[in-house]
Chain A
């Protein structure tokens, strides 16, 4: 057992571009804007930054992309580069930055992500699947739909439970001025929607969005010395992964959110019932349901009872995705959830959960291949 880093580091600043369609912007330009705003939010000069962790744009991989960002912001970091584990990357990079800071390898880290699949190419999201192309096996969304069908068949999960996730995200996103999709969704509208890849329809699926978001990470001590105005302590983090593709995964209805969540809760010395708000990766509705189950908010197969009746909406027991998540705010893979967690802990969210003291954030990548959990406090 190593040193417990709970509360040793903070998210000192957050910054983002607009979300939606940003034609003509390169991912480099968007990253720079997000970093500039995050540094301003933390109230620090860029020269204090000595680590730069970058998630490569999902729609276009580029060698040495992290170094291109460093050049664009005129930085000579001690640690810098790209980490790729899909949508879990941002929480993992923040956690790795905290470990590196604690080990004395750097002092102030910027973690950043940008992509432009909406105005650029989104082909990366729907390519034919290698050997299985002749069977008509396409698109990431059908892998998630495959998991959803198994969950429904094996555990009796009704479509209404999937719908509750979409309804919550859309209700919250409608009240977020920066959200890409601000049209609320009623549960009966969800139930009547035509299928796209059954059991999924359009409203089960992530938005496709351009945009960038960055955070600044430093030690709690350093933030105090620098007079950072609104530092938010990181109380826990944890990770978990499976190598198996969905088609090969022995247990299709559990995810590595379980081990990631357990690790983060243990580090923070907290339990699911201590969470007042949650930002749960909702690339597809099933993802959020299974993450909540695996974090221990409901027993396996009983998630429908937990999410019904507005329990995961503002005013409920555990409001999730209070700025709209991937289903309503932006399809960005995860950093927007971290930003909203920070705002909730600062108490200045557009849709603030009253007296919220703890927030758990999930990030996940591939088709539930990789998972990372982050617990923020005050």
Chain B
């Protein structure tokens, strides 16, 4: 019988798919800055990164800094891990938030009890880091 105690190596988080268009977004996040794409033709603001404006289809856009103000559109609380890296975080929440500038994004809300959150409540950006990547979390105001 083998009595050696083997510690399970910690599971790695799945890495995000980063491409040429989205790289500036991830680079800015790593510096703690949240940015979004702004269309110079029609004024539309959006996330996640795309090559063309989904409103006017032009490719004439620039990265703008977000104010960090947002509101809570909806959220869920995971009580089951669909990937081993999240097993020791249960329960954890994932939310959709809308920045005051317009873009919507997936995030986590930094809060004690996510079941006490309220639809449309105001939030503010909190930079964080996971596995060498900058990420954007939010907390209630």
Contact = CB atoms under 8 A, between A and B. Distances in A.
Interface of A: 126, 128-139, 142, 145-147, 149-150, 153-154, 194-200, 246-248, 252
Interface of B: 13-18, 22, 48, 73-80, 82-83, 86, 89, 91-92, 94, 96, 104-108, 115, 118-120, 130-131, 133, 135
Contacts of B119: 149-150, 153-154
Contacts of A154: 119
A252 B96 CA distance: 11
A153 B74 contact: yes
Main secondary structure on chain A at its contact with chain B?
Answer: mixed
A198 B113 CA distance: 13
A70 B96 CA distance: 44
A311 to B, nearest CB: 27
Contacts of A132: 16, 94, 106
A18 B131 CA distance: 46
A146 B96 contact: yes
Contact of A197 (B48, B80, B105, B133): B80
A187 B138 CA distance: 36
Contact of A138 (B83, B89, B107): B83
Given A150-B119, A200-B76, 5 more contacts: A136-B78, A146-B75, A195-B91, A196-B80, A247-B106
Nearest to B13: A134
Given A136-B92, A146-B76, A131 B17 contact: yes
A130 B77 contact: no
B108 A136 contact: yes
Nearest to A126: B82
B104 A248 contact: yes
22 contacts: A128-B14, A128-B82, A131-B22, A133-B14, A133-B83, A134-B130, A135-B107, A135-B135, A136-B94, A136-B108, A137-B94, A138-B86, A139-B82, A146-B74, A147-B74, A149-B76, A196-B79, A196-B80, A197-B79, A198-B91, A246-B96, A247-B105
Contacts of B120: 153
- Greatest chain A CB density within 10 A among B16, B77, B106 is at B106
B76 to A, nearest CB: 4
Nearest to A145: B76
B103 to A, nearest CB: 9
Contacts, number: 95
A134 B73 contact: no
A197 B74 CA distance: 13
A133 B96 contact: no
A137 B106 contact: yes
Given A126-B82, A150-B119, A134 B135 contact: yes
A198 B77 contact: yes
A136 B73 contact: no
Contact of A135 (B18, B22, B94): B94
Given A145-B76, A198-B115, A247-B106, A133 B13 contact: yes
A149 B94 CA distance: 12
Contacts of B106: 129, 132, 135, 137, 247
- Greatest chain A CB density within 10 A among B82, B83, B115, B135 is at B82
Contact of B108 (A135, A138, A196, A246): A135
A199 B117 CA distance: 13
A142 B76 CA distance: 7
A284 to B, nearest CB: 12
A200 B73 CA distance: 17
B73 A133 contact: no
Given A134-B13, A137-B94, A154-B119, A198 B82 contact: no
B29 to A, nearest CB: 10
A138 B138 CA distance: 19
